[in-house]
Amino acid sequence: MKILAFESTCDETAVAVVEDGRKILSDQIFSQADLHAVYGGVVPEIASRCHVESISILARRAIEAAGITKQDIDAVAVSYAPGLIGAVLVGVNFAKSAALALGVPLIPVHHIRGHMAANYLAYPELEPPYLCLAISGGNTLLVDVRDYTDMKIIGATRDDAAGECFDKTARVLGLPYPGGRPIDQLSQGGDDTRYSFPIGHVDGNPYDMSFSGLKTAVINLVHNAEQKGEEIDRAALAASFTKAVSDSLVPRTMQAAAELGRDRIVIAGGVAANSRIRADFQKAAAEHGYQLFIPPLKLCGDNGAMIGAQAYYEYLAGVRAGSDLNAYATMEL
């Protein structure tokens, strides 16, 4: 089954063709990062306009790169929530038109489910059940994945997402947007014990997280140093910050896996590209005897292939949408 999939929830326009939920036939992505870098973050109106300008071109390229024709497409999929509402609307409306024109089913896909499904493309042997940690710019979730479409959130951030903290920390350090890669590069060789940062805990649920205190601590440390004329060890700060994020994520995930009896752990989302977090999870999983699945770097960020992968299993579960499908800025997993 060949699915033409669209992703436009933030600042990447992505179109892919995926076969049977496991094989990428093509994956076309236009990143707007350079356009938004001058503003230090995504400007929703600019993002929406760029999606309008590029989505039809990418759709044509995706079909051509897959070596198929429009008549070979069996279904159309689209990420319809959550995300920047104007950006999501572009993908949803184009996908609805494409499905209508091609006379094929339309499959709505939750964006975070897509990130999780990126691992199906990288690891053909991966099947539920497993525990998944989804870490991105807008979400940080611990999810018990019982089946491809049967999931339960057991923990989540109560405030900021881990990825948002990376971007804010990068900004205060004068690093470019998006901040994940620059912080990763800066932290290499830095003393991760130089600065002490808080790790948030939430009463009532050991798996819920909080990152607002960490973000505030970093900002206050830098601003206080500037006011006193003191020099900040930027590499050490980046390393200490990354360690604090990892120390919040890894132990919780290991504890949840033990409690749920899951021996497979999946990591998904843009923050999964961080080298320190990847290494810490690999070490912890080996110590506990768990199988660990982390997508390659090219599948950590937003892409159309992950939407096509999850769409296949949504289709098998009977999920369909009509011309009344809407876009949503927020939606439960």
Distance of alpha carbon 265 from alpha carbon 122, whole angstroms: 14
pLDDT, one tens digit per residue, over 102-115 is 999 999 999 999 99
Residue that is written with structure tokens 């504890």 in the block: 255
Q: What is the mean pLDDT of the chain?
A: 96
Q: What is the pLDDT of residue 322?
A: 95
Distance of alpha carbon 210 from alpha carbon 232, whole angstroms: 25
Sign of the Cα pseudo-torsion (235, 281, 216, 174, in order): positive
φ/ψ region of 20 (left if φ > 0, alpha if ψ in -120 to 50, else beta) reads left
In the three-class reduction of DSSP (H, G, I as helix; E, B as strand; rest coil), residue 267 is classed as strand
Residue 281 sits at the vertex; the CA angle it makes with 131 and 114, to the nearest 5 degrees, is: 45
pLDDT range class, residue 170, cuts 50, 70, 90? very high
Asked if 123 and 293 count as a contact pair (C-beta separation under 8 A), the reply is yes
Q: What is the pLDDT of residue 177?
A: 86
pLDDT, one tens digit per residue, over 284-315 is 999 999 999 999 999 999 999 999 999 999 99
Q: What is the pLDDT of residue 41?
A: 84
Given a cut of 90, is residue 192 above it in pLDDT?
yes
Distance of alpha carbon 297 from alpha carbon 253, whole angstroms: 21
286 Cβ contact partners less than 8 Å away, ≥ 6 residues apart = 292
In the three-class reduction of DSSP (H, G, I as helix; E, B as strand; rest coil), residue 89 is classed as helix
In the three-class reduction of DSSP (H, G, I as helix; E, B as strand; rest coil), residue 138 is classed as coil
Alpha-carbon distance values, 54 to 25, 27, 29, 60, 261 (Å): 20, 14, 10, 10, 45
Q: Bridge-partner residues for 130, per DSSP? A: 145
Q: What is the pLDDT of residue 123?
A: 98
Percent of the chain with pLDDT over 90: 91
Other beta carbons within 10 Å of 38: 9
The tokens of 322 are what? 């009509």
Q: What is the pLDDT of residue 21?
A: 97
Alpha-carbon distance values, 248 to 153, 202, 221, 242, 268 (Å): 17, 12, 20, 10, 16
Quickly list DSSP for 243-259: HHHHHHHHHHHHHHHHH
pLDDT, one tens digit per residue, over 124-158 is 999 999 999 999 888 999 999 999 999 999 999 99
pLDDT range class, residue 90, cuts 50, 70, 90? very high
pLDDT, one tens digit per residue, over 21-57 is 999 999 999 999 888 888 888 999 999 999 999 999 9
Asked if 31 and 19 count as a contact pair (C-beta separation under 8 A), the reply is no
Q: What is the pLDDT of residue 325?
A: 98
pLDDT range class, residue 204, cuts 50, 70, 90? confident
pLDDT, one tens digit per residue, over 219-229 is 999 999 999 99
Quickly list DSSP for 44-55: HHHHHHHHHHHH
Higher-confidence residue of 201 and 73: namely 73
Domains of the chain (ranges plus CATH)? 2-116+301-316 (3.30.420.40), 127-299 (3.30.420.40)
The side-by-side arrangement of strands in the sheet containing 140-147 is: 150-156, 140-147, 130-135, 264-268, 291-293
pLDDT, one tens digit per residue, over 272-283 is 999 999 999 999
pLDDT range class, residue 254, cuts 50, 70, 90? very high
On the 0-12 / 13-18 / 19+ scale of CB atoms within 10 A, 263 is middle
φ, ψ at 263 (rounded to 5°): -105, 5
Percent of the chain with pLDDT over 70: 100
Asked if 146 and 129 count as a contact pair (C-beta separation under 8 A), the reply is yes
Q: What is the pLDDT of residue 203?
A: 83
